[in-house]
Amino acid sequence: MTRKSSLTAWMTQMSWRRTGGALAGAVALACFVLGECVQRHALGVNQELPERITAAQADVRENILSLRTTLAGDAGLMPALERYAEEFSVQTGIDAHVASEIDVSRLSPLAETQLVRIVQEALANVRKHAAARQVQIRLVARDGCLGVTVTDDGVGFDRVPNGKHFGLQTMRERAESVGGGLTVTSVPAKGTQVTFWLPLAQP
């Protein structure tokens, strides 16, 4: 194995470990919320707990789905994205569709992994914050790069929120780690679009 391929394999493995860590954190949160539920129920104070339990359950399901999709690399990028979008729709009730106009085989394995993780994180934001009815993931060729947009029809916002608050900094760092970039645009009451691009290998 070459030094470059070894580095790619190591970075891909680290991405998988981060997904596993997120899953462990979500499970720990769910356990904490359930424990709090028992305590508050005993005290007769549990008005907010049903919503918190539902949110914790959604986080656990989402991280399990993310881990399964990230590790299913042998299926190919597009089948993995399409399956993730389908299961996301089933779990959230938000219609999610994937459209592609490009041969994604020119992406490096590491870039593929980062693409999937960015899309997963963008969809997590849609679920948590957008109050959207539908979301579209679109892949297009763009100046020697693969351009990806994740567009929802949700509530939008006046200005881009703090990167750490919505995990935007993490998504941006993922794109930049393979030579790409990421931007976010939004219009109140008209939705939000996450746009990122990743370099393609020369044909």
Digitized pLDDT (tens) for each residue of the chain, 203 residues in all: 444 444 444 444 445 445 545 555 555 555 555 556 655 555 454 556 556 656 665 666 665 555 555 544 556 788 888 988 998 998 889 999 999 978 888 888 889 889 988 998 999 999 988 999 999 999 998 788 999 999 999 999 887 666 556 688 899 999 999 999 999 999 999 999 999 999 998 76
How wide is the angle at C-alpha 134 spanned by C-alphas 132 and 196, nearest 5°? 90
| Residue 138 β-bridge partners | 99, 149
pLDDT of residue 119: 93
Instruction: Give the closest residue to 179 by CA, choosing from 112, 120, 118, 111.
Output: 111
Tell me the C-alpha distance between 132 and 152, whole Å.
6
pLDDT of residue 27: 55
Tell me the C-alpha distance between 85 and 91, whole Å.
10
- Distance from the Cα of residue 175 to its chain's centroid: 13
Residues 6 or more apart whose Cβ sits within 8 Å of residue 10: none
pLDDT of residue 130: 92
* Cβ–Cβ < 8 Å for 168, 184: yes
The CA-to-CA distance between both ends of the chain, in Å, stands at 23
